Structures are given as structure tokens and as C-alpha cells.
Structure 1
Amino acid sequence: MAFYHHLTEFAGRPVVDFPADPALPLPAAAADPGSVAWRLDCNKDGEYFDRDFPELLAAFLDRVPSAGVEALVTGQWLEWGEDDCTVADDLVAVADRLPGLRALFVNDLVDGQSQPSWIYVPDLGPVLEAFPNLAELWVRGTPEGRARAEGPDPLIAPLKHSGLRTLVLQSGGLPAGTIRALAECDLPELTHLEIFLGDPLYGGDATLEDLAPLLEAGRFPRLRHLGLRDALIQDAIAAAVARAPVVAQLESLDLSLGTLGDEGAAALLAGQPLGHLRRLDLSHHYISPGMRTRVEQAWPGVEVDLSDGQGSGRRRRYIAVAE
């Protein structure tokens, strides 16, 4: 599965395309640039106008009052998006012209533009350092980097950022190095962490040992939502989460999009109380009807999402987002 639809809303704002065609007029939102999330895409819907991302970004900064921009969504950075992604470096270079940027979605590419495991992303640490007021960072893709024994460079190297509240990493295969580096970050204001772990065939080789630091109490003291999604080891993750100290501080927990079955569901039922949660997302699962009934009845008052059942009798299980 890939992502099939471009964002229409981001950071609580409607997404508005900045025209790649220089002949088109500016959207009306340019009069109030902070009211929308601006999308910069060099080839949205197959409409290519011979501009790469640096040129499109420069045109955007020249035509839109950039000091008022608060949310950005980036798309394809070249006609085909196969060369090195320059988006991180390009944004860092113009950070002084985007002083109000609070939310950034990197690589809102969909099926027809690229598959998730083919979107290569450089280290985004410099972006966080250049934008100290950034509160939301969403990234779709997998780390680029030279092949080496310990894997590619992480999406975000260990750093401190005092403003980041939401971090979402969407990948068909997120290498363990990124998980380990994330656990070393100092993010005191982080409240929402969501990770697509993916398939080992596409680089998603994280183990329970790699994830263990994220499950400690106080690793991110303000964390209220944790998503460990899209994993082939979803049953094992559920068992680890069932006894994880971090759960006591959460308001919502997301174990969706993976291969969760009866084993993982039973671990959640036998583990620590989950009645304090507002929401538990187990959608796209392989749980049997009987176990599903037990889960639905286990925690009155908790919104439990068990939609998109894949059939408990299937021998081979698939995650929702891989290639």
C-alpha cells in the first residue's frame, strides 16, 4: 500500500497549492498567509513546469508575504523526484525569511509520484536547529545515506529541540538507527510521537530492544500520544507496551496498520490497566471475532478502534504501508 491522496488539511489549516506555473495568479490566501498550509510541489498531478524545488521556493518567498507563513507542505522536488532531495538544505538556507514557521510536512508524495520506501530523506536535524519555533514535523520517507554496516544515517540525529510538540515519521521501512537516535533526542515538549516501523525488506529492521528506550517513563515527559504503527512485529510490540511504564502517562495509544492478532490482543488484556486512555487504535488487525469482543468490552469509556479487520485465519499477514 502507498499513500493515495494528498493532504487537504495540515496543522489545523486547509492546504493551498502555491502555483508551480508562474503564469497562474496567487491564491487569495496570500492576503493572510498564516491562515493556510502552503503546499510546494514541482510536479503535482503530473503538471511539470521546469522548476526544481529551490526555484519554486524562491518564487514562493518572493510572491507570498513569507514572514506570515506558519505551515508548509512539500511535495515532489523534481519532475520525477529521483535525484537527491534538497528540501532540507533549501529550507535551512531561507530560515530567516520564515520566522513564523510552526508546522512542516516533508514529502507529501502519493502513489503515482513515489512509493514510501523509495522516498529518500536526508538528516532533518539541521531543519529543527534552523527553526527553533517549529512545533510540528511530519516526514514521509526513509533515510538516505551511504551503505554501511550500521545502516543509513538517521532521519534525525540526536539533538535538543525545546519547541517540538508533534513528530510523525511515515515510512515503509524505518531503519533501527533512526529509532535509536530518536531515543537520544532531548524533546521536553513532545506530546505526540507516531512512528511507522515498516517491513524489514524495505529497511524496517527495528527490534524490541531498539524500541525499549521509547517505552520508558519520562523519556519524553510530556508525551500523551504514542503510535508504534505498521509493524510486522505488532504482537510483540503490543506485549511490550502492555507492561511499558510510558503507558501510564498516555492519553491515546496507536498500534494500528500492522499485523496485530490474538496474541497481541491477549497481551494487552493481561497487561497493565488501560482504562485511563481516551483512545486505543488497533485498526488494520488480524484479531479473531471472539478476541475482538473481549477487547471491545475490556475498557468501558475507552474509544477502541478495531476497524479494517484483515481476517484472523490468514496465514500470511501484511502491514498496511510497506513498498
Structure 2
Amino acid sequence: MRILLTGGYGFIGSAVTRFLMRNTAHVVLNVDCMTYAASPETVEDASSNERYHFTQTNILESASLNRLFETFRPDAVMHLAAESHVDRSIDGPGAFIQTNIVGTYTLLEAARKYWLTLDRSDRKAFRFHHISTDEVFGALAPQDPPFTETTPYDPRSPYSASKAASDHLVRAWYHTYGLPTFVTNTTNNYGPWHFPEKLIPLITLNAIEGQKLPVYGQGTNVRDWLFVEDHARALVKAVECGVPGQTYAIGARQPRTNLEVVQAICHVLDELAPNAAGPHERLIDFVTDRPGHDFRYEIDPSHAEQALGWKADYTFETGIRHTVQWYLQNKSWWQAIRANRYTGHRMGAAAE
């Protein structure tokens, strides 16, 4: 397949790109506009592969997208480009409206225009895969069952509202125009190359440097954690065999409170990089909760597991150990970001 992949320099997009280059024969065009969170280093191994191509293009630029479709002629689109940091969406929602809603609309229209030029068999085989989040479903109470593909939408933040809108657009283009689209919704991802403003990398890096470990409220908010390489494998399975009009909820059945996540990181670091001042848990600092902080997210991935023939391989324990080890071994990458590119955003705590 020839896959046009948006956001390939982002955290999840780069994991998908690496998986595609290492484990498939597919050809990839990485379309990324190089925002603050883009890291070309994440796909350095792919850059020398003749099946990998890159263009610095903004998905808001319809003329540029039209040219890319005409010249690259993809068999599928994997749409991962998005603004994704909840706290940033609270402070500045405009960028989220533009990228996540208007950008998705622009990409859908470019894809539809191109799709209409294909012959009957190619048109039938074409796929538009939209990658989204479980945050569109709102928040779960402690006794509620996990999210599924049929959970009603109830977004609570500017970020989740913008992603919900993009999901609705993707489905509308399927039902109205027949464009063969489908959606995957996933829970929280973690792993190597995660940008330092997110919970797991921020806590890991602060602990390595002996800084405070900020935790919102009492750390009781619950998230279902999925190792990013497991997610990348699921997404490739989906683009290869996903059915138009369907939704696939992708998760690992590994819920943890934020405090449990922070404690797990501390325990790994106590073993791998002990601090003479004492256990890393001494650095935990409970801070004022953020506005509208959803209590719990969790996904039931049963449908995706059966339909895609996929299941998460990593346990949370193996995944968090692998992640912490990676940050210990790749200080040059994150130190450069923290020193030069990352000015800090709501550093009182980190979004999940």
C-alpha cells in the first residue's frame, strides 16, 4: 500500500512510521507541519529507506494537499496530525479548532476529490483511517463500565471537543459522500519519544533530575495505559483490514491512577538510577487540580481485538520499565528539548 500519513513526526505517528518501515512493505509519505512537538529524530532510521518520503505541509493548506494526493497517489490515508495537549487547549483553544476540526475537514475534502478520480476497483479499496481518542466519550464514574464503540459522545475539554467534531466529520463524509472512512479511538499512550510535557515523560525526567513530581489533586484520576508500539501495531492492522463505517476502540485493559503511575516510575528509577538522597517518591508534590479534569477513562477493546486480530503485548510493568530505561539512555534528546525548544506549559503538573 501507498500510505499518506499525517503527523508522522509526532509521538504516535512516528511509532506508526517506524513500525511500517520495519515490519511491512508499504510506502509512506509523512505529512507534518513541524510544530513544537515534532521530532525528526524519531524516524531517523526510516529516512534512508526508499519507501519513506517526507513533506513539510500543513493540513490546513488545501492546494498543497491536492498536489500531494495527485503526485503520491495513496491507497490509504492515516490521519494522526492533531493538537493533543489538554492543558494547552484550555489556555489556547483556537489552534485546536483549526488543526483538529478545520484541518480534518480540509484533508477529507482533498481525499474525496482524489478518490473520485480513481477507477472503480481502486475507489473501493481506498481507506481513510482517522485516529482519535477516548476522551471524546467524556468521563467515567468509578462504577461505570469501560468505553466501547457505541458509548455516546460527551467531550469535556476544548481538546476532546475538537477531536469529537473531527470524528463526526469523518463519519459524515462516509455516510454523505461514500468516502470509505473509519475511526479508531484509543486510550492514553506512553513509551519512547513521548514529548516531555506529558505525564509519564515529565515525571520520569523530573525524577531523573531530582525535581518535584507534580501530581494533580490527590492523584486519583484513572487512565487506561497503552504502550505506543502496541498501538502502532493495532493501527497498521486497522489500515490493512479496517471496514469503512466501522469504529475500533483500542486499549490494553491496564487502568492505573495517576499516583500509581508516578509511583511505578519512582520504583523503576529507584532500581535503575538510585538517588543518594533517598527514594524518588519523596519528590511527589500534590498540586491544584486543573479545570474540568475528567476522573476516569478506560476502554473495552474486545471488538478491536476480535476484528483486527490484535491484542496488546506489553503489560504496564514491562512497558513502563522499557520507557524509563529509554529516557535514561537518551538524555541528549530530551535535554535539548527542555533546554532549547520547550518553554514549559502549565508546569504545575502534566496532562495525561
Question: Do Structure 1 and Structure 2 share a fold, with TM-score over 0.5?
Answer: no
Greater fraction of residues in helix? 2
